């Protein structure tokens, strides 16, 4: 087995991507319903939103499968098909407020439960069918 040079483990997730078939519907959902700030948009290709110190990338997979056409930004082809998953962190009280907001906006909560460690999670769908979760951070981290 080849010995690999040492390198530190990544300290955070800088970007997370979801693939959507309707960028306008997704942009409306993540901007108006989820309250995220739009950072960048390339029509018919992608829309990016800020989530704390992470950027949420929303791509049209029919376009990103071809990669970048800009020689100065040689982003390789990428993409996914089918439904993805993303989880946002929130307090128990914030999750209760999200339940009311999502229901009022026509995005019903599919599941609402407490994990064995007592952390609450709710699940719902974005317009592309991606499974979106909001959970208490103690699901993974002791607070």
- CATH number of 101's domain: 3.10.180.10
Structure confidence at residue 3 (pLDDT)? 92
Same domain, 61 and 99: no
Same domain, 87 and 143: yes
pLDDT tens for the 143 residues of the chain, in order: 899 999 999 899 999 999 999 999 999 999 999 999 999 999 999 999 999 999 999 999 999 888 888 899 898 988 888 899 999 999 999 999 999 999 999 999 999 999 999 999 999 999 999 999 999 999 998 86
Q: The pTM is what?
A: 0.92
Provide the domain limits for residue 32.
12-68
133 located within any domain? yes
125 located within any domain? yes
| Residue of 134, 111, 125, 135 whose CA lies nearest to 25 | 125
Domain count, the chain: 2
78 located within any domain? no
Structure confidence at residue 75 (pLDDT)? 87
51 located within any domain? yes
Same domain, 89 and 143: yes
Same domain, 25 and 57: yes
Instruction: Quote the tokens at residue 82.
Output: 């089918």
76 located within any domain? no
Long-range contacts, stretch 111-116, CB < 8 angstroms, 24+ apart: 115/139
> Mapped to the 3 state alphabet, what secondary structure does 47-110 carry?
EEEEECCEEEEEECHHHHCCCCCCCCCCCCCCCCCCCCEEEEECCHHHHHHHHHHHHHCCCCCC
Q: How far, in Å, CA of 76 to CA of 64, rounded?
A: 8
């Amino acid at each position: 087995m080849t010995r690999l040079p040492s390198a530190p483990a990544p300290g955070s997730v800088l970007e997370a991507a979801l693939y959507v078939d309707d960028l306008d519907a997704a942009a409306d959902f993540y901007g108006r319903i989820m309250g995220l700030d739009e950072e960048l948009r390339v029509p018919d290709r992608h829309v990016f939103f800020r989530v704390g110190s992470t950027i949420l990338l929303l791509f049209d997979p029919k376009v990103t499968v071809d990669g970048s056409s800009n020689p100065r930004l040689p982003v390789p082809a990428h993409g996914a098909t089918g439904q993805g998953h993303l989880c946002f962190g929130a307090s128990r009280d914030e999750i209760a407020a999200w339940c009311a907001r999502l229901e009022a906006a026509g995005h019903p909560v599919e599941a609402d439960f407490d994990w064995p460690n007592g952390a609450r999670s709710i699940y719902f769908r974005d317009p592309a069918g991606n499974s979106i979760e909001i959970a208490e951070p103690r699901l993974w981290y002791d607070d």
